[in-house]
Amino acid sequence: MPDAKHSKVQLRNALRQQRQALTASQQQDAAQAAAHNLCALPHWQDAKHIALYLAADGEIDTTPLAAICRENGKHLFLPVIQTDQQLIFRAWDSQARLQPNRYGIPEPPTDAQEMSAEKLDIIVLPLVGWDECGNRLGMGGGFYDKTLTGVNGPLRVGLAHELQRVAQLPLEKWDISLNFVATEAALYACQGAEPQGRAIPE
């Protein structure tokens, strides 16, 4: 039986190929629908500080979600990778010029307001794969896992294509779980170790 690491590599490659094969129109429609579904989160109206990500590699585009957040007066933040491979979050001013980090990922400038993960209301995470127990397969860097271990404050919400859902993900002890996953089809409330998630109807 293959170990979890080997299984993750194979699964990651297969799922990345599937989402990269989506057309621009399919990506745009999925981003709009997933953003709409995410707004059904509990306490969405009360959430003021929300961390997003900038999409790459076929990930769900956060542009529609960012627009909704700004229209509703929410303060947006983007992750910034530190030397210890953990993340801090800096304010994302729509007028600010983002600066590429060592991986080529745009980040807010160094003088932008910083906020720790604990003080955020919602953290929207990118992912490669997910299951309805809230398990998440990322790109393999472990940045969110390191950052969110032991952090209980914000809701952890995956943003994903429905095609990225799998029956069960191979897990390692440091993997953090998700509270919700929003796709173009539904908002799923993840049920910890339970075998089934619960789709929240629109």
Q: Which fold has domain 4-200?
A: Rossmann fold (3.40.50)
Q: What is the pLDDT of residues 106-133, one digit of tens each?
A: 999 999 999 999 999 999 999 999 998 8
pTM exceeding the 0.85 threshold for the entire prediction = yes
Residue 197 has pLDDT above 50, yes or no: no
Residue 186 has pLDDT above 70, yes or no: yes
The Cα 146–Cα 129 span in angstroms is 18
Amino acid 193: pLDDT? 35
Q: What is the pLDDT of residues 148-166, one digit of tens each?
A: 888 888 999 999 999 999 9
Amino acid 34: pLDDT? 97
Amino acid 36: pLDDT? 97
Q: What is the pLDDT of residues 7-50, one digit of tens each?
A: 788 888 899 999 999 999 999 999 999 999 999 998 899 999 99
Of 113, 143, 151, 112, the C-alpha closest to 125 is: 143
DSSP the chain: ---HHHHHHHHHHHHHHHHHTS-HHHHHHHHHHHHHHHTTSTTTTT--EEE-----TTPPP-HHHHHHHHHTTPEEEEEEE-TTS-EEEEE--TTSPPEE-TTS-EE--TTSPEE-GGG-SEEEE--SEE-TTSBEE-SS--HHHHHHTT--SSEEEEE--GGGB-S-----TT--B-SEEE-SS-EEEP-TTSS--EEEP-
Domain boundaries, the chain: 4-200
**128, 138 Cβ separation under 8 angstroms:** yes
Q: What percent of the chain has pLDDT over 70?
A: 90
Quote the mean pLDDT of the chain.
87
